[in-house]
Amino acid sequence: MTHHQIIGEAKRPPTPALQLTLRFSSSRRGARLARQLAVQQFTEWTGLPYDSDPARTIALVTAELASNAVRHGSLPGRDFRLTLLLLPDRFRVEVTDTRPERLPPPVPPQPADETSGRGLLLVQAYADRWGYTVRDAYTKTVWVEVQLRTTTS
């Protein structure tokens, strides 16, 4: 079972310069810790400040992917996995959960009065590329790539 969906440019990431993979409990606390770790690792690897636009983007997209893994992709007693990759020109965040049958939906515009369901709209707005991969019958990985660029105003 292999299924891929890529939003954005369709090419596989090159070999990462640096990579880190950790498991987190499928809980709100686990999602929060994943976001904090992603930003900390991003700033350490890139040298960009914690309050830079790329670091804020990493915080936002990691929070959304981890939250979705906890809310929509978990089975009792199963963790989710966070993988961070520093690529030559971008940073990649991958969140792997245990519900491959629950694929991210297409991202339609949400009615203004909805109080939830806007997370993937944010991911689409902030990520340079994103998508998902199902490689087996037990897991799926939702990933986001953010270009490493800084803008000065």
Looking at the structure of the chain, the number of domains it has is 1
pLDDT in tens, the chain (153 residues): 555 666 554 455 567 789 999 999 999 999 999 999 999 999 999 999 999 999 999 999 999 999 999 987 777 778 999 999 999 999 999 999 988 888 887 765 565 666 556 788 889 899 999 999 998 888 999 999 999 874 454
Domain-located, residue 100: yes
Query: Read out DSSP for 85-127?
Result: EE-SSEEEEEEEES-TTSPPPP-PPPPTT-SS--HHHHHHHH-
Q: Distances in Å between the alpha carbon of 34 and those of 1, 3, 40, 44?
A: 28, 25, 10, 15
DSSP code at position 17: S
| Residue 44: CATH number of its domain | 3.30.565.10
Please tell me the predicted confidence (pLDDT) of residue 10: 46
The domain containing residue 81 runs over which residues? 3-104+117-147
Domain-located, residue 25: yes
Whether 25 and 79 have beta carbons less than 8 Å apart is answered as yes
Please tell me the predicted confidence (pLDDT) of residue 32: 96
Whether 128 and 10 have beta carbons less than 8 Å apart is answered as no
Domain-located, residue 142: yes
Domain-located, residue 110: no
Q: How far apart are CA 115 and CA 38, in angstroms?
A: 26
Domain-located, residue 124: yes
Domain-located, residue 9: yes
Domain-located, residue 73: yes
Q: How far apart are CA 112 and CA 90, in angstroms?
A: 33
Whether 100 and 134 have beta carbons less than 8 Å apart is answered as yes
Please tell me the predicted confidence (pLDDT) of residue 113: 62
Q: Distances in Å between the alpha carbon of 37 and those of 20, 55, 58?
A: 10, 11, 10
Max intra-chain CA distance, the chain? 47
Instruction: Please indicate, yes or no, whether the overall pTM of this predicted structure exceeds 0.85.
Output: no
Please tell me the predicted confidence (pLDDT) of residue 51: 94
Please tell me the predicted confidence (pLDDT) of residue 80: 94
Domain-located, residue 112: no
